[in-house]
Structures are given as structure tokens and as C-alpha cells.
Structure 1
Amino acid sequence: MRRRTPGLRREEVAQLAGVGITWYTWLEQGRPINVSSQVLDAVARTLFLDAAERDHLYRLARIPQPPVAGDPPAEIPGDLDTVLTALDPLPAMLVDARTDVLRWNRAYAALHPALVSAPVGERNTLWQLFAAPDAQHHIVNRDERAPEAVAGFRYRYSQNVGDPRWQDFVTRLRTASPLFSLLWARHDVAPPRLCDKRYDIPGIGEVSLRATGMELADHPGVRLVVHTPTDRRSRENIDHLLRRATHL
């Protein structure tokens, strides 16, 4: 856990929160401790934690949380495929909490041909961002997106601590990507939010998209993510990309 008030020493934080220095040190290290929600609230107030960081603090302390949705159902209902199709020409996909891509529409496939044709274990947005060759994803603002993507992933990871499938994925990605390993070691955490992605597609040109994710209440663990062009040139280039894909 990183302190939002770096000017405060551990002793000062512990004193302001009314806890012992040893206890607080163990909390930062994620060691098992006995603690009440009232004490955690005091620590959160002292450190000026936002909602995501407060949630992460509770998980570090192993305070019981509401049940976490398990893996999405193996079968995605046909009505969701209908929704994806209706969203063309906006690139759209269904993704689970580990960022595995479950379904996609024609526009998304045209934008990410390497991802949708990848083996199941690599058909993952985080894997493609960090472990795939740059020529496959064409993202030109990866340096900007990478820290945000890792912080958002850690937010979801903290809800699945101890799940061997999540641990295995993190281990594989840290081995495959030194950049991911470096960012993962920073322990940044943030809730998922709107993000912009910029592409430079050979033969097409620049495309700027804003990704909006929506949790599906009837399908726990599944999000619908829609990518909307941010300007007219991007809309036109998406149309060109779709026409080119149609003739391949």
C-alpha cells in the first residue's frame, strides 16, 4: 500500500490514526492482522484515501467483503451477440474481470485482428498491450495507457486474491513483459474508468477512440466495452478500416 501523504513518516501516520507502529507497518506490508473497520476508517482518513484505495486497504487487512462474482458463464446468451452486432461500426467487445475478451463485433475484429485470432490464453487486452509485438496492436499512446491499465487490473485482482488463475496470469505476464513487472511492483490501484486509445493503422491512418465499459447486471463479471471515435477523422478511418476488412 502506498501512502498518499509521502511527507508523513510511518510513526506519524500511526499516531494520527491511533494505532501502533508495528501494527501499521504490518498493514502496509499486507501481513495478516486483526483489525476493526473503525480502525481502518481512521487510517483511510489520515491518508486521504479515495474510494479505490480505501477498498484496497480493506482487502489488505482481510476484512470480509461482499461476495465477489465468479468467472462469467461459459455460454454467452445470443442476445448479447445481437447487441454487439447492432453496435457496428463502433468497435465493441465483451470482456471479463481478467480482461479476457469473450466476444466481439466486426469493427472490433477489424481493429484488433491479432487479438481475436490469438490463442485463448493470450486473447486478453492486458496481454496484448504488454506482451504482443507493437506491430500487432498499433497503439501509439501505450506509455500513457500502461500505468492506468495496470492500476485498474490490480483493483480487480484485489477482489480475487488467492485465486490461482489470477496468480498464474500475473506470473505469466510478469515473465513476458518487463514493463508490466515494473508497473505491477509499484502497487498502484485505481477503479476502471473512461480511457482514450490512439492508434496508427498502416494504410488507414490515425484513429482515436474512447473506451466506455458497462457492467452487465445479468451476467456478473462481464463488461460490455464500446469504443467511440473522438473526432470526425477517426470515424472516417474506422469506416475505411471496415471496408478494407470486407474485401480481404
Structure 2
Amino acid sequence: MDNPKQRYKELGDFLRTRRAKILPSQVGLPEGTRRRTIGLRREEVSFLSGVGLTWYTWLEQGRPITISSQVIESLARTLMLDKKETMHLYNLARLTPPTEIATYDNTVNPMLKHVLDNIEFSPATILDQRYNVIAWNRASEKLLYDYNKLDTSKRNMLRIMFTNEEYKKTIIDWESTAQSMLARFRIAYGKLVEDPYIKELVEELKSESKEFNSWWTMHNVEMEEEIVKSITHPILGELNFEYTSYMVLSDRNLKMTILTALPGSDTEKKIKQFLLG
């Protein structure tokens, strides 16, 4: 027989032990000299995961509160849970885990992150199959968007494209670009149609974006392909790129996207002057 009280206590204890294992430096926070808490503080976990501090405190205290798949996903990413730990967290929350669970420890393989960081003048990002932004390089942060501005739970490329007004203003011909991304996502959706996280994401975007809600009903699909993409940078003006994407062989749930300066344009010259200046 299920014992909800014991299950919630187990969930809270599990989160607390995993919080204690994460050093502030691992998530970009200062260590501090007067720090008494081992690992992360509750308020740091709530901030990084995009959930309220009171709500998260209640969760660790074992109170019977409602938990969504998106929150589980966000907590797993913040606490750098591996696949076994993430599956356990889903089970404790009495939620159906997705068919494929990404690995959150250290964000991406260090060797893959090294490759990303060494692509100096081309914005590059790594996305998971749900279009969550897992990692990005300096060129992407300086030329496209600084994902550090967003809570971990909000770093979803589809969400950014349709609901982030700051990002939308940088896209030349946003409507066409957004429709194309949605059509490519529809292919991924076909494989993840029963994924609770995806279901919640789609429902939220349908309510938050009238364009998404309208275009989603069209069921348009596109395969991943090389395209030309143009953006407007607040300092550099118009930048034109060739967009390519590559599956990560070590983890088929991930793909790397790279924007390379369009040959014959002045984009490469602008970028080098900007990033080196």
C-alpha cells in the first residue's frame, strides 16, 4: 500500500542530500568565506530552478504539494542528477518519467564543452531533444542571447523564440523563422508525444503565444536542414549566418547548432572586431 506521507518525506530527504553535494562554484555561484551550509542553500536551488523558495522549502520538508514534470526536470538540472537519480525523483513524485532522460551532471561531457568553447567566432549551442538549451559558447552569449539571464527552467529554445520579446526583436523575419523552428520541433514531438514535460510545454506555449497556438494546429513539419539565418545585433547591426546542426554521437538526445558567418557578407569581419576588440 502506498504511504503518501512517507513518500513525500523520502522525496524531501533525497533533494536535501543532493543539494548538499553541489558546490556553489559548479553552478556559477561564489563560495563565500562565511558559508555554513554544505553545498547549495535552499534559496539558491529555488532561484536556479525557477521555483518559489517557500514552495521548495515545503517540498524538502515533505509536505504534500503538487509537483509538475517541468519542475522535476528543472530540479534535476540544477542538482546535476544523473539518469538513475532523475528516474528516482520522478518515481517519488508519482510522475511518469519520459522515455529518454537526459543526463544533467556537469551539463555536458567536458570534451564536448571544450569543442564548444573553441568555436571562437561562430555562435554555437547544444540543445536536448526537448529544445532545452544545455550549453553555449561565448560567441552565442555575445551575439545571440545571454542565456544566463534566464532561470534554468526557462532555457527552452522554443519558449524563448515564442515568448521572449527581447530575443524576438533580434530575429529578422521572425514569423518565418519561428514557423520553421516549430515545424522542426513537430518532428521531435512525434517521438515524445507521451513525454509529460513536452505535454506541459506545448500547453503553456499555446496559452502564452497566440502565434504558437495558431500554427500548432497546422501540423506543419520540416526536417533539419542547412539554412541562412539573419539577426539584428544592437551594436553590429545585421548579421548573416549559415545555420547547421550536428547530432552528438555520444548522446543521441543532444545536438549542436552552429551559426557560421555567411560567405561574401561582412559578418565575419564585424564579429572578429567585436569579440577581439
TM-score, normalised by the number of residues in structure 2? 0.60
Please list every run of 5 or more consecutive structure 1 residues that lacks an aligned counterpart in the other structure. Answer: 1-67
Q: Is the 8 A contact 1:98 1:166 kept in 2?
A: yes
1:196 paired with 2:228, answer: yes
Residue 113 of structure 1 aligns to a residue whose secondary structure is coil
Within-5 A mapping of 1:92-103: 92-103=124-135
Instruction: Note closer, same or farther for the CA distance 1:124–1:240 as it changes in structure 2 (3 Å cut).
Output: farther
Structure 2 CA distance, aligned partners of 1:151 and 1:94? 19
CA displacement 1:168-206 (0-9 Å, x = unmatched):
111111111111111101011222222222111122111
The DSSP-based 3-state class of the residue aligned with 1:126 is helix
Amino acid at match of 1:197: K
Residue 195 of structure 2: aligned partner: 163
How far is the alpha carbon of 1:114 from its aligned partner?
A: 4.1
Counterpart residue number, 1:176 = 208
Which of these residues, 237, 240, 246, is aligned with residue 270 of structure 2? 237
Q: How many residues are paired up?
A: 177
Deviation at residue 243 of structure 1 after TM alignment: 4.2
Structure of greater relative contact order (alpha carbons < 8 Å, 6+ residues apart): 1
| Counterpart position of 1:112 | 144
Equivalences for residues 48-67 of structure 1 within 5 A:
none
Structure 1 counterpart of 2:53: none
SS at match of 2:118: helix
Determine the structure 2 residue equivalent to 1:11.
Answer: none
Match of 1:211 among 240, 243, 259: 243
C-alpha distance 212-135 of structure 1, shift in aligned 2 (>3 A): closer
> SS where residue 187 of structure 2 aligns?
helix
> Per the alignment, in what secondary structure is the counterpart of residue 200 of structure 1?
strand
Distance in 2 of aligned mates of 1:78 and 1:71:
19
Unaligned stretches of 5+ residues in structure 2 = 1-97
CA distance in 1, matches of 2:169, 2:226: 19
Query: What is the identity percentage for the equivalent residue pairs of Structure 1 and Structure 2?
Result: 23
Q: Deviations over 1:80-106 (max 9, x none)?
A: 111011111111111111111101111
Q: CA deviation at 1:121?
A: 2.2
* SS of equivalent residue, structure 1 residue 88: coil
Superposed CA RMSD: 1.9
Q: Are the structure 2 counterparts of residues 74 and 106 from structure 1 closer, same or farther at C-alpha, using a change threshold of 3 Å?
A: same
Answering whether residue 104 of structure 2 is matched by residue 74 of structure 1, we say yes
Contact 1:198/1:206, CA 8 A, preserved across alignment: yes
Report the equivalent of 2:66: none
1:123 aligns with 2:149: no
User: Counterpart of 2:127 in structure 1: which amino acid?
Assistant: V
